[in-house]
Amino acid sequence: MTSPSPQLSDGQPAGAGRYAPSPSGDLHLGNLRTAVIAWLLARDSGRQFRMRVDDLDTARARPGVAQRQLADLAAIGIDWDGDILWQSQRFDAYAAATAQLTQRGLVYECYCSRREIAEAPRAPHSPPGSYPGTCRDLPESIREQRRAALGNGRTPALRLRAEVTELTITDQVHGDCTGVVDDVVLRRGDGVWAYNLAVVVDDAAQGVDQVVRGEDLLSSTPRQAYLADLLGVARPEYAHVPLAVNAAGERLAKRDGAVTLADLAEEGTTTRSAVARIVASLGGPDGADSIESLRGVVTPESLRSGPWVFD
C-alpha cells in the first residue's frame, strides 16, 4: 500500500522526488551523493521521496544487486515513502502508453541494426547521434520483407514518430538547455522497453514532479519532456547534479579503488565516515556525519560549483 500523500499548507497534495538506481553494480559514493541530494531537495521542499528500481532488462539483471543498493541507501539515512516501484513489474503500463501513441499514428516499426543506423546516409545538419529516419516512411510491402528477414526471435523495434527535432527544457542547475529530440526507441528489437519511455510513465505513476539525477542524463531530458507532453503528463522540474570525478577528472568508477560502502568497510572505513565525506562535499557543518545535518544546506544554486573531485 502506498502511504497517503502529505498535504501542503494550501491543501494541495505534495509532489514527490525520487531516486532510481539501475541494478548494474554496487552504488559508489558519487551515486550515493546524488541520491542524498535528491532526497534533500525533495524533503526540503515538503515533497515525498519515492524509490524505483530501473530493472528493465530482466535478462541482464544480477540477483541481489538491487537489494544491496537499497540497503546502502538506507544505511546512509535515506528513507522513502510508499512501495518501491520495480520497472520489471511495469511492462503493461509501458505497453499501454505505447498503444496510446500508436493509436495517434505516432509509432512505427524499425528494422535497423546498430550498424545500419551508423552507416545510414543522413540529412545535412542532422544532429549527431540521432536516428536518421530510415524506417520512418517505408511502404508496407517493404515492411513485410524486412519483418520476415529479422529472424532469430527478433521483433521490430518500435520508434516514436517525433514531430520536432529539438526541445528546450529548464534545469534548476544548468538553466535552459536545448537538446535533440529524435525518433526515440520505445521498445527495442529484443523486446526490452526503452528507458526514456519507462522513466516518463513511471515518474507520472509515482506522482514525481521533481527529477534530481546525475548530469550524464541531461542530454536525454528533452526527449523525455517531449514524451511527457505527448502522453499528457506534466513535465517534472529537473535538476541535473554534477558527477563525482577522480583526480584526473574522469567519472568515478570501480577502477578508482575503494568507492562503495562495501569496499570502504573492507578498508576499515565506516558508513558514518563515508557519510561525513558526502556531508563535507556538500558544505555541511564541520564534522557532521548524518544526512539530516544537510537539511536546508543544499540548493540547486549551491550545486553549480562543478563536479565533486574524489581522491
Q: Which residues of this protein are in contact with ligand GLU, per CB under 6 A?
A: 20-22, 54, 199, 213, 217
In whole angstroms, what is the distance from residue 23 CA to residue 21 CA? 6
Nearer to ligand GLU, 39 or 111 (CB): 39
Task: Give the nearer residue to ligand GLU in terms of CB position, either 202 or 256.
Answer: 202
Flag whether 118 is marked binding: no
54 among annotated binding-site residues:
yes
Nearest to 170 by CA among 234, 236, 80, 117: 236
- What residue type is 306 in one-letter code? G
The answer to whether 226 is a known ligand-binding residue is: no
176 is in an annotated binding site: no
195 is in an annotated binding site: yes
Nearest to 208 by CA among 11, 34, 45: 45
Q: Find the shortest distance in angstroms from Cβ 234 to ligand GLU.
A: 16
In the complex, minimum distance from the CB of residue 31 to ligand GLU, in angstroms, rounded to a whole number:
8
Q: Which long-range contacts (CB under 8 A, 24 or more apart) does 34-38 make?
A: 34/212, 34/213, 34/214, 34/241, 34/243, 35/73, 35/76, 35/78, 36/76, 36/78, 36/278, 36/282, 36/291, 36/294, 37/212, 37/239, 37/241, 37/282, 37/298, 37/303, 38/212, 38/213, 38/241
Q: Cell for 247?
A: 583526480
Query: Considering beta carbons, is residue 19 or 111 the nearer one to ligand GLU?
Result: 19
Instruction: Flag whether 254 is marked binding.
Output: yes
Residue 158 or 198 having the CB closest to ligand GLU: 198
Distance (Å) of CA 80 to CA 86, 202, 260 = 14, 16, 21
Minimum distance from residue 111 beta carbon to ligand GLU (Å): 28
Shorter beta-carbon distance to ligand GLU: residue 84 or 142: 84
Q: Which grid coordinates are listed for 197?
A: 519511455
Question: Residue 177, annotated ligand binder?
Answer: no
Shortest reach from residue 152's CB to ligand GLU, in Å: 28
**Shortest reach from residue 176's CB to ligand GLU, in Å:** 20
Residue numbers in the known binding site for ATP are 254
- Write out the binding residues for Zn(2+): 110, 112, 131, 135
Binding residues: 18-22, 54, 110, 112, 131, 135, 195, 213, 254
